[in-house]
Structure formats: C-alpha cells, structure tokens
C-alpha cells in the first residue's frame, strides 16, 4: 500500500482522462439502468396493495361484505425485498453521483477498491432479497398442499401480477449489478507499461 | 508470505466445504411423520421447493469447494475461481434467504393469507431445518470472506 501512495498521485491527475475512457462511460450507463431497474422494483412492490370485498353471508336479503386487503407488509420476505432493492438503488444512485462529480475525492488511493467492495456487498444483498421474494411468490401462486397452505393468487390477481413485475425488474437489476461488479473489479487492474512482462 | 496466504485460503475453503456440506446433508435428512386428528402428516424437505433449492444450492457449492481445494497454485484458473466465487456467494445468499423466508412462514404462519404454522405439529422437523439454516449461514459468511480473499489474491500481483 505504501507503493500505492507513491504511485497514486499520477492516477489522480489522470483521473479526468480516465473518466472519459469508454469503459467508465459504459459503467455509468449500466449503473443508471440498474438504478432504474431496482428503483422500479422497490416502488412497484412498495405500492403493491389490493383490496377485495367479498360476500361472506347473506342475512335476509342484505349481503354482509368482508373486505380483505393484500399488502406487501403482510409478508416479511416482501418487506426484505423492498428494503434490499431500496438499498441497492440508493447504492447505484450514490455510485452514479460519485462517478460524475466525485473524481477529486480520493481516500489513500482506495476509492476504486471501496467501490468494488461496496458493489459486491450490494450484489449479495440484492440476490438475497430476490431469492426470498421469488419463493414467497411461488408459494402464494401455487400454495403448498403438504403444509395445507392455500394459494392466494386466484383471489388477488393484481397483487400477484404487480409482485411478479417487481421481482422480474429486480432480477434485471441484479444481473446488471453483477456485470457492474465485474467491470469495477476489472478497473482495479492498473494498465501495465509495455516493457514489463505479464505475470 | 504467499505460502501463508495460500494456507489461509485453503483453511477458509475447507471450513466452507464443511459448512455447506453439513447444511445440504442436514436439510436432506429432515423428515418427520406426525399424525394430526388421525391424518398422517409427513414433512419432508422436498415438499417445499424453497428447501429443495437450499439443499441443491448447498450441495453444488460443496462439490465446487471440494474441487477447488485440489487446484494447484499459480495456474491462471484462479481468476476463473474468483469469478465463480462471486457466483457461488450469490447462490448461497439467495438460497439461505429463500429457505429462511419459507421457514419463517412455517414457524409463525401468516394470518392474512390464512396459512397456519406447521412447527407445532412437526417440532423435530423444524429444529432440523433450523440447524440446516444455521450451517447455511455459516457457509455464506465463510464464502463472503473467501470471495474477498480470492479477488484480493488475483488482483494483488497486478496492482503495482
């Protein structure tokens, strides 16, 4: 790391050149798209709510209605999904801001390494949220005869559709996040001068 | 220095192999038969797709760990191993998270959906699954450390 401190000042001066390199622009575009995907997943799932009024009994000639609501907060897996995707979209937004405006700030030359590590952590979080929500949605769609759990998608179709859309969008965001992580790890490799032989 | 580093990576991978293999085996052998109101009620891991996914994911990861332990040092394949470590960590997080979500429904039920908890009827099965989930978590944490370590190992010679 002492070497890095000595070698880094040139990289900071070169940073304006680096920011215009094609790989950084590709990374920026990918981050924007991933931000939109995860933000869309968060918002669609957070607003996912369906109310249904069903007739429970009939006394004389007046039907008694019961109002059932399906909200995303009923299921802890969906709550985790919303939180995980919210944090992933915040992370993407922060990284976009840092890419565009943050080139002057560097911390002991570790900025790219910190970005790569944060990307890895966000990928793990987002994949956890996706896994939980997918299997919960599958349980809601098909039920489970062994555990005597009924399916709920036949009664709350819109809730299920919105949830499915949010999960798909989140998977797209996850895929992009994996690509972004690979690219940002690749950025850690400094270009070697041609005189050195490769390892 | 490189030897100590390699030993550290190897120890981590051995521990992760143990954790994931035990998670897969414990989940695979979870099985209990109970009778409620003269109806025989059998709980197996394969009844719940989430637990099947958990078992398969942990089995795949333990086979992968076993193979990587025998990889000789200084081949170029270590870069591929770093990439695979990321994929494997993703697989582990999603499997643990999915199994945990469904296990939580099994334990507490879900009043709004009309799902009754099943842990009251099959407590030994629930404990078994909890143990498997604990081992899965340990494997996940170990693999997160392995991922950071292998990315560092692959990039370190190229960082100066």
Q: Are A129 and B151 a contacting pair at CB < 8 A? A: no
- Three-point CA angle A130, A135, A137, nearest 5°: 95
Complete DSSP assignment for A95-158: HHHHHHH-TT--STT-HHHHHHHHHHHHHHHHHHHHHHHHHHHHHHHH-BTTTTB---TTT-HH
Q: Are A116 and B151 a contacting pair at CB < 8 A? A: yes
Alpha-helical regions (H) of chain B: 2-28, 49-69, 77-108, 123-155
Number of structural domains found in chain B: 1
Inform me whether the pLDDT recorded for B14 exceeds 60. yes
Q: Are B115 and A147 a contacting pair at CB < 8 A? A: yes
Q: What is the pLDDT of residue A8?
A: 43
Q: What is the pLDDT of residue A54?
A: 76
All structural domains of chain A with their residue ranges: 23-188
Residues of chain A with pLDDT under 50: 1-18, 196
Name which residue leads in pLDDT, B7 or A7: B7
What's the domain range around B121? 2-159
Contacts of B155 in chain A (CB under 8 A): 185, 188-189
Q: Are B20 and B66 a contacting pair, CB within 8 Å?
A: no
Name which residue leads in pLDDT, B76 or A79: A79
Give the C-alpha separation, A50 to A71, whole Å: 7
Q: Are strands B39-44 and A62-71 parallel, antiparallel or unpaired?
A: unpaired
Q: Which residue of A has its CA nearest to B41?
A: A146
Which of A116, A148, A178 faces B116 most closely, judged by CB atoms? A148
How does pLDDT run across B120-137, given as a tens digit for each residue?
778 888 888 999 999 999
Q: Are A70 and A156 a contacting pair, CB within 8 Å?
A: yes
Element (H, E) at B70: none
ipTM of the complex: 0.84
Inform me whether the pLDDT recorded for B111 exceeds 60. yes
Q: Which of B56, B87, B90 to mutate to test the interface with A (most CBs of A within 10 A)?
A: B90
Give the C-alpha separation, B105 to A115, whole Å: 36
Q: Which residue of B has its CA nearest to A140?
A: B113
The residue-averaged pLDDT of B69-75 equals: 76
């Amino acid at each position: 790391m002492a070497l890095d401190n000595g070698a880094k000042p040139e990289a900071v001066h070169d940073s304006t050149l680096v920011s215009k390199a094609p790989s950084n622009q590709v990374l920026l575009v990918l981050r924007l798209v991933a931000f939109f995907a995860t933000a869309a997943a968060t918002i669609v799932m957070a607003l996912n709510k369906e109310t249904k009024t069903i007739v429970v009994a009939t006394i004389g000639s007046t039907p008694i209605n019961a109002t059932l609501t399906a909200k995303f907060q009923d299921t802890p897996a969906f709550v985790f999904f919303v939180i995980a995707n919210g944090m992933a979209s915040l992370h993407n937004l922060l990284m976009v801001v840092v890419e565009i405006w943050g080139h002057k700030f560097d911390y002991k030359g570790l900025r790219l390494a910190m970005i790569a590590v944060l990307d890895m952590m966000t990928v793990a979080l987002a994949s956890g949220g996706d896994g939980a929500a997918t299997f919960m949605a599958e349980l809601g769609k098909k039920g489970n005869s062994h555990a005597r759990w009924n399916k709920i998608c036949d009664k709350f179709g819109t809730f299920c559709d919105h949830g499915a859309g949010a999960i798909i969008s989140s998977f797209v965001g996850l895929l992009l996040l994996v690509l972004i992580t690979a690219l940002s790890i690749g950025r850690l490799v400094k270009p070697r001068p041609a005189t050195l032989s490769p390892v | 220095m490189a030897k100590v580093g390699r030993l550290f990576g190897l120890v981590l991978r051995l521990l992760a192999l143990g954790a994931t293999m035990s998670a897969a085996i414990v989940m695979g052998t979870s099985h209990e038969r109970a009778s409620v109101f003269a109806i025989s009620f059998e709980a197996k891991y394969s009844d719940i797709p989430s637990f099947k996914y958990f078992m398969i994911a942990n089995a795949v990861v333990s086979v992968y760990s076993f193979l990587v332990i025998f990889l000789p040092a200084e081949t170029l394949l270590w870069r591929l191993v770093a990439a695979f470590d990321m994929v494997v960590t993703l697989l582990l997080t999603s499997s643990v998270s999915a199994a945990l979500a469904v296990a939580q429904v099994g334990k507490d039920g879900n009043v709004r959906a009309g799902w009754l908890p099943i842990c009251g009827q099959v407590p030994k099965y629930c404990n078994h699954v909890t143990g498997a989930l604990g081992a899965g978590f340990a494997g996940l944490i170990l693999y997160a450390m392995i991922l950071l370590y292998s990315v560092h190992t692959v990039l370190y010679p190229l960082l100066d």
